[in-house]
Amino acid sequence: MGVSDLTTVGSLTLIPYAFGALGMLLIGRSSDAFQERRLHIVVPTIVGAVALSSSTLITSSLVLSIILLCIAAFGILGSASAFWAVPPTYLTSKTRPAGIALVSSIGAFGGFISRP
């Protein structure tokens, strides 16, 4: 995109993650207010995936790329707050720690085996 100064790159990288933090707060609050988890996980994740995929097609506009990355971070990171509210609703108090550890372990293992 033509940005070569490391300070500028770092500053531009901050913007989508700020939107991701905002997404975590707003989507989590909405999910709790409506007591609805599935749509608060699926819809933001799909919107984020579409925005992230679209950002790879934009090569001429830095501003549009940042906007798409902000939408992607808002949706993908924001849906995580609703996602982690699901396991405790289905697990008993004795099985919650093991269930949450299993979900975390599967995610970490997926990241481990996907590395080249």
Reported confidence tier of residue 89, pLDDT bands at 50, 70, 90: confident
Task: Decide if 1 is inside a domain.
Answer: no
Apex CA 78: angle with CA 76 and CA 79, to 5°?
A: 70
Instruction: Tell me how far apart the alpha carbons of residues 23 and 26 are, in angstroms, rounded to a whole number.
Output: 5
Tokens 């720690």 found at: 97
Residue-range definition of the domain harbouring residue 41 = 6-83
Q: Among 71, 56, 91, which Cα is nearest to 18's? A: 71
pLDDT in tens, 26-54: 999 999 999 999 999 999 999 999 999 99
Are 76 and 112 contained in the same domain?
no
> 3-state DSSP call for residue 3?
coil
Q: What is the pTM of this model?
A: 0.83
Task: Decide if 42 is inside a domain.
Answer: yes
pLDDT in tens, 6-31: 888 889 999 999 999 999 999 999 99
